[in-house]
Amino acid sequence: MSNVIPFRSKKLQIQKKLLTLIDDLKEIYNGLDMATDANFKLTQIAEDTEEHYNRVLRQYVDEVGAENVELGYLEYTTDIAVLFDGGDVSIKFVYNPQQLSLFPEDN
């Protein structure tokens, strides 16, 4: 008599595929969570560094005068606006610290 080798049922084959895909998705989601956390941390670091940059730039503007600030120094600031009035160019601080509004106005 010969040995009969049972073939896996289609149900078991599909279940195996599903379990493999579940493992893949878990790995992908873990990677997404890590990327999201890293993005959040880098954003916080960037905001803190921008704020420090703005403070140092304000000191520089006070020291040399607004008309003497090199344009390259304005590239990374988040609180200075460049104003064009005819042929004159000036800069203006538009610093608005992030504040928690306990009672926001309805729009």
Instruction: Write out pLDDT tens, residues 34-92.
Output: 999 999 999 999 999 999 999 999 899 889 988 888 889 988 988 877 778 887 777 77
Which residues is 15 bridged to in the sheet?
Answer: none
Q: So what's the pLDDT on residue 9?
A: 87
CB 92 within 8 A of CB 61: no
Q: Over 90: is that where the pLDDT of 6 sits? A: no
- Predicted TM-score (pTM) of the model is 0.61
Distance CA 1, CA 13 (A): 28
